[in-house]
Every structure is written in C-alpha cells, then in structure tokens.
C-alpha cells in the first residue's frame, strides 16, 4: 500500500499544477487532434507519414498525447470497468480522428501499390522466372513495398491499445493475397538467393485406364522434370514403381508423354502431352491432377484425348511427400489494397 506523506501530497500537487487542469488540457488535446486531421485531409502522403508516426510510438503525436490526457482525467482505480468505459467515451474523438487519418493514408498506400506492383504487367499470370524473382525475391518489389509501407502497421507493437481499434481498412482479397505471397516467399526465397529450397518428392505409378479405342492400351509414360542440377526422367511401364527426387525452384520444365499399343503390336506416342514451365512448373503439374472434389487426396489424375485412336486416356499417380509445395501458386497482385 502506498504511504501518503506531506511530501508526497506536495509532489502530486506540483505534478498536477505542471500539467494544468485536466478539462482544459482535454479540450486542447482535441483541438490539436482536429488540427492534425485537417492538415492531412487533402494530403494522403502526409496522412501516411503521420499514421506511421502513430504506430511507431517513438515520437509523441497529438493522438498519443490525447490518450495520455484521457488517462489522467480518468485513472484506473477501484471500479476499473467503469473507468475503462469512461476512458473509452472520452477517447472517441481521438480514436475517430486517427481512423480518419488512416482512411486518407490508405489512398496514398493504394496509389503506391498500383504504381509499384499492381500495374506491372510482368507480375501477371504469365510471369516467368525473372519476373517472380523481381516480385518475391530478396530485395524484390513485394519486400520493398512491405518494408516501406506496410510493415509499420502490420508489426506495430507500441501503439496505444485504444488506437488499435482503428486499423488500415485493407480489403479481404488484398489481405488473402499477401498471406499467399508470404507462403510463396518462404519456399521460393531460397531458390532466388542464397541456399536453394529443397523439398523431397516421391511419385507412385498407378495403372492407366483407356476409355474407347478398341484394343488400345498404354505401354509406358515418360515424366521429365528438368532441373539445373539434374534432368529427372522416369519411365513407368504400367506396373508397380515409384520415383523420388528433390524439388527446387530451379526445376523449371515438366512434361508428361504417353505411348500406347495397338492391335498388331504397333506402338505410337500420343500427340497430346502435358507440359509446364517456370519455377512453379512441378507444383502446377501436381495441382492440375488434383480432384476439385477431394483436393486433399494424394491421388492425382489427368485425362488425355487420343484423337487418332478415338479414345480417352486416364493417367494416375499417387504423391508421397512434398506437401509444402502442392499449394504453391502465383496469382496476379490485386489492383487495389481496398479490394
């Protein structure tokens, strides 16, 4: 228990005298908040700078000082619930002002996102290896944008708890894209700089099925995965068998070719084949074989049309290992952070 003495009472009096009466201080704090909000209302760039100061917590702002005044007026004492409610009421103009600043800051954030990321055609659906490096790689566009613009808000630890009721009103599509981009960075980053990400993968062959094409049957399939370290070729002859290799982002070409046998013993290669290219070639190969009705299944299935034999060929593999790459996918960045 705190002991009250004449000296401590005198010290409290001096502190209150130094700070001044609480209600005039509260009015002055609200005036300063309103002035700051008005000063950035027509300047989204200044609004973004001010919002960063608030979440950084290293420099006093009208918002942090306003919250300090609110807590001086209503200190937490016996009835903490009532005090917290009254603090919340008194803080509403401060919190509302900060929300207005964030809304203006989002306009500047949106402009920078469009100019630096969303408007870049190289980051579209046809993005190649160098384009993905430029987006997801170390020092790439996404990392620089986050470091300069987003991380101060996403990693804000020193902001006043009441001001946390306001956050950048980013849209769900943008937020979801950022989460998927982080997964891409985690796996692809090694291959784009420094040590290469390495994921063991094993495929198990399942016999093919032929629909139509009287007397037609599959004799063999050839799966080719081209990596910088080694070209992997697995010839599966419709019995039992499996093949394992280590996937990295440097495996940039995948093709699956099929040969069929016909009555009389003649063998021919199907003109149709499955092919993918780029650092996501193998993940895309896996994803294309996934069943939309059961995406968690390890059974992968593809259909190939054989026009010459008037048949449809059903190809199957089972996937063992490599689960962390099966969800890897590049989607173009959303056009706006508000989406």
Residue 336: predicted pLDDT? 94
Left, alpha or beta for 67 (phi > 0: left; psi -120 to 50: alpha)? alpha
- Per-residue burial over 104-113, b = 16 or more CB atoms within 10 Å of its CB, e = otherwise: bbbebbbebb
For 297, how many CA atoms within 13 A lie in the half-sphere containing its CB?
14
How many beta carbons lie within 10 A of that of residue 303, not counting itself? 11
Domains defined along the chain, listed by start: 6-192 (no CATH), 199-324 (2.60.40)
Residue 3: predicted pLDDT? 45
Structure tokens at 112: 């920078």
**Inter-helix orientation angle 44-56/80-113, to 10°:** 140
Residue 194: predicted pLDDT? 44
Residue 131: predicted pLDDT? 85
Residue 167: predicted pLDDT? 82
Contact assessment for residue 158 and residue 58, using Cβ atoms and an 8 Å cutoff: yes
For 141-192, how does the pLDDT look when each residue is reduced to its tens digit (9 = 90+)? 999 999 999 888 887 666 777 887 788 888 999 999 998 888 788 776 654 4
Residue 152: predicted pLDDT? 86
Residue 190: predicted pLDDT? 54
Residue 222: predicted pLDDT? 96
Spans of the chain, pLDDT less than 70: 1-20, 156-158, 188-196
Residue 44: predicted pLDDT? 93
């Amino acid at each position: 228990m705190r002991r009250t003495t004449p000296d401590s009472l005198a010290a409290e009096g001096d502190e209150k005298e130094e700070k001044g009466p609480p209600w005039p201080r509260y009015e002055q704090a609200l005036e300063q908040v309103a002035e700051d909000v008005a000063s950035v209302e027509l300047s989204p760039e200044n609004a973004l700078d001010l919002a960063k100061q608030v979440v950084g917590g290293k420099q006093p702002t009208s918002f942090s000082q306003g919250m300090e005044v609110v807590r001086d007026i209503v200190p937490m004492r016996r009835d903490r619930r009532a005090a917290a409610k009254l603090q919340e009421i008194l803080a509403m103009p401060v919190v509302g002002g900060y929300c207005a600043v964030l809304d203006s800051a989002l306009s500047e954030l949106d402009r920078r996102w469009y100019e630096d990321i969303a408007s870049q055609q190289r980051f579209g659906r046809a993005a190649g290896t160098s384009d993905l490096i430029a987006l997801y790689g170390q020092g790439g566009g996404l990392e620089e944008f986050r470091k300069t613009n987003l991380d101060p808000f996403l990693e804000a630890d020193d902001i006043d708890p009441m001001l946390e009721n306001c956050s950048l009103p980013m849209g769900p599509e943008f937020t979801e894209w950022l989460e998927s981009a982080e997964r891409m960075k985690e796996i692809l980053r090694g291959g784009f700089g420094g040590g290469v990400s390495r994921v063991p993968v094993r495929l198990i062959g399942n016999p093919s099925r032929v629909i139509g094409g009287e007397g037609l049957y599959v004799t063999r399939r050839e799966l080719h995965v081209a990596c910088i370290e080694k070209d992997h070729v697995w010839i599966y002859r419709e019995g039992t068998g499996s093949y394992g290799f280590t996937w990295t982002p440097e495996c940039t070409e995948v093709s699956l070719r099929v040969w069929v046998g016909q009555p009389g013993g003649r063998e021919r290669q199907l003109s149709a084949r499955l092919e993918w290219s780029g650092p996501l070639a193998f993940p895309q190969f896996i994803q294309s074989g996934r069943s939309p009705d059961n995406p968690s299944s390890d059974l992968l299935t593809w259909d190939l049309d054989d026009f010459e034999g008037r048949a449809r060929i059903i190809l199957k593999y089972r996937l063992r290992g490599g689960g962390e790459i099966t969800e890897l996918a590049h989607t173009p960045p959303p056009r706006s952070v508000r989406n």
